[in-house]
Every structure is written in C-alpha cells, then in structure tokens.
Amino acid sequence: MKDFSYQGRVMAEIRNADGTYGKPRWVGDTEPAVTVTLSEESETRRENFSGMKMETAVLETGNTGEISLGLRYNSIENLAMGLWGAVIDEAGGTVTGEALPEGLEAGDFIALEHGGASSIVLTAADDTALEEGVHYSIDSAAGGTINVLDVEGLTQPITAAYTHAGSVNVGMFTSRPPEVRLTVHQINVIGGQRQRTQLYRVRLNPVSDLDLINESFGVLQLTGRVLFDPDQAARGELGGFGEVRQFREAP
C-alpha cells in the first residue's frame, strides 16, 4: 500500500474488571481526524568533558499512548463515556400534588420536577383550578417550565398535576473512569484496501468541553490514555497496547 486516506467506523467495547469485553458498539460518525499519539519517556545523559554537552546515552523509562477523537453523535452512551456516568432508563409516569414555590408573581417562571410534561393542571390551595392562558402559559413542555401570567386573588401554594414522558439519563462522575477497547475498521478510499487498528485498553478522560449551545455543528471531543493490557500481552506476539492489521485482500 502506498498512498492512503482512511475513513472508517470506530467501535467501542466496555472492558470489564476481569479483562473481558462487552458488546461492540458503533460510536457513530466521527470527525475526520481520529489520532493516536505514541511517545517514549526517557532520561538523557550529556557528557561534561568536550565543552559541547552532547548526548551520550538515553535511558528509556516508559512508553505511553494517547488517543483523540471527535464524536458527531450525541448519543447517551457516548455522553456516558465522556461524563463518567452510568446510563439510567427512567419510565414515564403521572405526578399529582407537586408543590410549587410560594410567593409566585406575574412574570415568574416555574420549573416542574420532570420534563416532557403534558396534561398539566395547576390548582390553588383552596382547590381553585387555574386557567391556562389566563393564569399561566406553557413556556416549554419538554423542559417542564411554566410562565406565570396572573395569580391575583389565588391562594398559594399552588400545586401541579401532570403526566411526564420517560427519559434516558446519565449523571456526571457517578461511575469509575471507563475503560474501553477501541477498534477502528478502516478503508483506504484511494485503493480500497482494508485495515483494522485496535487499542486494547483505553482509559477515557472526562470531556473537557461539553458544548451546551452551538453556533455550528456540535462535536463531543474525547481523549484517553492507552494503557498496557497484560492479559492481551499474554495471548500473542502483538504486545499489550494495540495492533494494526492490513488485510491482503479487500473483502
């Protein structure tokens, strides 16, 4: 293979404590640059007799690897890798008697405990039903926010009853740092040759920039350290960090 320009799919498998892996998952489309950086840690010795202080020896102290990739898919599983969180599936349901803050005035906003709200009914403390469009308006049903229009003469606290949709959620820093096996299935768009690059054990860093509002397309930028996998090293001749396989025939 001479000239090359790769595209491909990145697959992630959660590495279990016993060295086994979970099911491979495609992380979705990525930015064009998925980059592995390998480096050597070393000490150098310089001579002190020539007046030139030239290097005379290098002592290797270790090898390190890092990976950087930008994910274009904002899936909850991708977020969990960058937020160090566990994915929690929350069922929808019905809420009754949710107390709203006291002292509400016209122009205030109310945040319901759950988003994805529908069939919202607000009731004053004396059981008077509030009228939508007169006493309040729905600011965002998905966000669970309500705009107070007029509460003159109403007895507070006001309570809310509503139905809310289910959701899939992930917290921040609720799990141990994730370790994954990353496999990149590559195709050389110039000649069609296939290559597979695999990093056996990647410890992902927490995402450093989590864009909440974007002017252009959003990207979830992930980085990680490539760790040595002694279990993998014991299985063959390709070591414990990773491998590159170039296939002789394009399937």
DSSP reduced 3-state for 16:
coil
Query: Each residue of 165-217: pLDDT tens digit?
Result: 999 999 999 999 999 999 999 999 998 999 999 999 999 999 999 999 999 99
Per-residue pLDDT tens over the stretch 120-155? 999 999 999 999 999 999 999 999 999 999 999 999
Cβ-count burial 55-82 (b if 16+ within 10 Å, e if not): eeeeeeeeeebebebbbeeebeebbbbb
Question: Residue 210 is which amino acid?
Answer: L
Model pTM score: 0.84
